[in-house]
Chain A
Amino acid sequence: ETGVTQTPRHLVMGMTNKKSLKCEQHLGHNAMYWYKQSAKKPLELMFVYNFKEQTENNSVPSRFSPECPNSSHLFLHLHTLQPEDSALYLCASSLAGTGGAGAEKLFFGSGTQLSVL
């Protein structure tokens, strides 16, 4: 257990549905990340939040909408997804920007396996 919890573990949704993925960390970290993991492809960084402010958006389609209400919680709101969005979505956190030892390490959750029908 790394201290990063993601819910739900599995999600099946239609292309017209609206759903949200949730991530919670109890490590006192200030940076949180969303990654997409598709088969046969490297993990793709989607969004980065540092002290609740979005600092990176890697050209992610607008049908993915992140929300970071505080440093411990991160959401990914989904709407009108496409079948090619089916993937494992991983959340991670770190002590970014502090300069402390080990601040560069990312701690991951177990992911949400998303299937879009």
Chain B
Amino acid sequence: AQTVTQSQPEMSVQEAETVTLSCTYDTSESDYYLFWYKQPPSRQMILVIRQEAYKQQNATENRFSVNFQKAAKSFSLKISDSQLGDAAMYFCAYRSAEGGGADGLTFGKGTHLIIQP
């Protein structure tokens, strides 16, 4: 079974600064997907960024980028130019690429990101 570990229960960053959230995972599979989801107080899980394991290039979405280290099974999220609207719980998630994608995601416990004005 796959596991996802987020070792930082809470992180704090000054507005406009850069912050990195950590995530490690454990799997015996070679083909999979990794995600970062954001959950603001509205409770809706919003997809921030996704990474395909067979692609070496790190994914980027505007101010959000990842550092994907497949051998180390590490998948960190970097948020540049932090904004007040970035404050939320951030969840790292794993999904197998096998089985036609009909299974769900395995999530970490989450990191609570605080943005200091």
Contacts and interface: CB of A to CB of B under 8 A. Distances in A.
Interface string A24-68: 000000010101000011110100101000011000000000000
A99 B100 contact: yes
A18 interface: no
Given A90-B45, A104-B97, A42 B109 contact: yes
A39 to B, nearest CB: 10
A105 B47 CA distance: 8
A88 interface: yes
B95 A2 contact: no
B46 interface: yes
A115 B87 CA distance: 26
B42 interface: yes
Contacts of B4: 42
B70 to A, nearest CB: 17
Interface residues of A, number: 32
Interface of A: 2, 31, 33, 35, 40-43, 45, 48, 50, 55-56, 88, 90, 92, 94-99, 103-111, 113
Contacts of A96: 100-103
A40 B104 contact: no
A110 B44 contact: yes
B109 A40 contact: yes
Contacts of B107: 42-43
Nearest to A49: B102
Contacts of A113: 43
Interface string B1-45: 000100000000000000000000000000001010100001111
17 contacts: A41-B109, A45-B103, A45-B104, A45-B106, A48-B103, A56-B104, A92-B104, A94-B101, A96-B103, A97-B100, A97-B102, A99-B100, A104-B50, A104-B97, A104-B101, A105-B47, A108-B45
Contacts of A31: 101-102
Contact of B44 (A35, A103, A105, A111): A111
A55 B102 contact: yes
